[in-house]
């Protein structure tokens, strides 16, 4: 049985191979300087493609430990896919002052509750970007790897009304740990709440009665940092709110993957679990060929499978607007609206202070005075209950 010091040693051994700064030639991001009170003291990085229609989707991407936002994007290819499909990508980024290994604090009670710490910072930056660029409140998605995957699950639990879907790669169940020793135990698959306890934690994370975001869970069968039992725990946690049984509706076998699917009473896929045979700890990539994305590196694993493309497809991001409308009308249920909509604030582009770093990037909306910019964002955040 591994102990905590052994796990730390193995993570430290890979730390020197990780990329903390901008990869060569990777200058796609802008920094969002103002997006609310930012109680979690996170950095907000944004990529907006030149061809972005009003009402485009937003994907929120959370990097893993020892990674930067730029390094994770360089590996996963999310901004590349955003150019192809015309959505915006927000990359919350951890700071060393918060966590020495650049991990999101997915287990810390002060950072994972609705209206607290890092979770509130991410929620605030989401709202600022959506309001600024006139994005679709009904098409906000979130994904992440490892600690970032666990933090993505935090956001899905704490703010389920915000997200239409999520994807958790080598992550952990919401609320399964509240201390560092517990976090390492859960990573190794030891201890933690019962299935009923985990489902209760999810239901009580927000006063939300549905509809719930659809969830994809990705896991390597040979992951010895966040062991496969954690993927099962995440699936079990979300089975409760989606009202699906323990056994999947059907299973699909590929060359290296096993995909298990759970469907709701209307036959819609609401949970999927993809296990990649023989893969260790990291994000599955396919970097070669016409449909290749990203680049292999530490925790970015070339296995001939693009999790980025598959996740986007599961969410329906490549779907035409006509097909999305038809699908929504047929189901008679849309993705959840945000508190901003329910408070009656009109959806239209607003201004946030953005510092562009790439000339070819779509420019930020025209600026007002600094005072006016701040007021617009703060008013929107207050209307959404995200700022006092």
What structural domains does the chain harbor?
4-383 (3.40.50.1820)
- 184 to 176, 187, 257, 307: CA distances (angstroms): 11, 5, 27, 25
Q: How far apart are CA 244 and CA 265, in angstroms?
A: 8
User: What's the CA dihedral at 152, 52, 374, 384 to 10 degrees?
Assistant: -50
CA separation for the pair 122, 258 (Å, rounded): 32
Model pLDDT, residue 376: 59
pTM value?
0.81
What is the block-wise mean pLDDT of the chain (388 residues), using blocks of 10 residues? Answer: 46 40 62 93 96 92 97 96 96 97 97 97 97 96 98 98 98 97 97 96 95 98 98 98 96 96 96 98 96 96 97 89 44 31 29 38 39 56 63
- Asked whether the beta carbons of 175 and 198 are under 8 A apart, the reply is yes
Closest by CA to 92, choosing from 56, 55, 117, is 117
What pLDDT shows up at residue 375?
58
CA-based radius of gyration for the chain: 19
How many angstroms separate the CA atoms of 74 and 231, rounded? Answer: 25
Q: In this structure, what token pair is assigned to residue 358?
A: 């790439």
Instruction: For Cα atoms 281, 201, 116, give the angle at the middle one, nearest 5 degrees.
Output: 85
Query: Could you list the active site residues?
Result: 146
Q: What is the residue-wise DSSP string for 36-55?
A: S--TT--EEEEE--SS--TT
* DSSP secondary structure letter of residue 219: E
CA distances from 387 to 23, 135, 206 (A): 35, 20, 17
Contact between 275 and 284 under an 8 Å Cβ cutoff? The reply is: no
pLDDT the model gives residue 27 = 60
Assess whether the previous peptide bond of 211 is cis (omega < 30° from 0).
yes
The Cα–Cα gap between 271 and 198 comes to: 16
The pLDDT value given to residue 53: 83
- Per-residue pLDDT, 369: 38
**Residue 6 Cα to chain centre, angstroms:** 28
Q: How distant, in Å, are the alpha carbons of 198, 201, 214, 257 from that of 204?
A: 10, 5, 18, 33
Q: Other C-beta atoms within 10 Å of 2: how many? A: 15
Cis peptide before 221 (omega within 30 of 0): no
């Amino acid at each position: 049985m591994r102990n905590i010091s052994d796990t730390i040693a193995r993570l430290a051994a890979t730390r020197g191979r990780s990329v903390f700064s901008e990869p060569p030639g990777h200058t796609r991001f802008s920094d969002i300087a103002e997006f609310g009170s930012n109680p979690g003291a996170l950095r907000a990085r944004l990529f907006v493609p030149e061809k972005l229609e009003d009402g485009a989707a937003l994907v929120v991407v959370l990097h893993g430990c020892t990674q930067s936002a730029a390094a994770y994007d360089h590996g996963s290819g999310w901004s590349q896919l955003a150019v192809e499909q015309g959505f915006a990508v927000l990359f919350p980024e951890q700071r060393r002052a918060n966590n020495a290994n650049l991990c999101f604090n997915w287990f810390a009670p002060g950072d994972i509750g609705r209206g607290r710490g890092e979770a509130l910072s991410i929620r605030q930056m989401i709202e600022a970007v959506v309001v600024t660029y006139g994005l679709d409140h009904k098409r906000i998605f979130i994904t992440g790897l490892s600690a970032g995957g666990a933090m993505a699950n935090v956001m899905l639990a704490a703010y389920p009304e915000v997200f239409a879907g999520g994807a958790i790669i080598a992550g952990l169940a919401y609320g399964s740990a509240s201390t560092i020793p517990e976090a390492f135990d859960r990573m190794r698959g030891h201890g933690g709440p019962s299935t009923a306890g985990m489902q209760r934690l999810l239901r009580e994370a927000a006063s939300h009665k549905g509809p719930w975001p659809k969830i994809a869970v990705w896991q390597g069968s040979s992951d010895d940092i966040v062991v496969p039992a954690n993927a099962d725990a995440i699936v079990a946690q979300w089975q409760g709110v989606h009202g699906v049984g323990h056994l999947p509706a059907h299973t699909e076998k590929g060359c290296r993957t096993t995909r298990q699917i759970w469907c709701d009473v209307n036959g819609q896929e609401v949970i999927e679990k993809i296990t990649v045979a023989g893969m260790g700890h990291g994000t599955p990539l396919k970097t070669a060929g016409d449909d290749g994305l990203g680049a292999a590196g530490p925790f970015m694993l070339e296995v001939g499978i693009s999790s980025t493309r598959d996740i986007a497809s599961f969410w329906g991001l490549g779907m035409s607007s006509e097909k999305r409308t038809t699908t929504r009308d047929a189901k008679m249920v849309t993705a959840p609206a945000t508190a901003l909509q329910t408070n009656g604030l009109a959806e239209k582009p607003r201004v946030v202070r953005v510092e562009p770093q790439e000339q070819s990037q779509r420019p930020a909306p025209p600026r007002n005075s600094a005072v006016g910019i701040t007021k617009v964002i703060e008013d929107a955040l207050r209307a959404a209950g995200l700022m006092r």
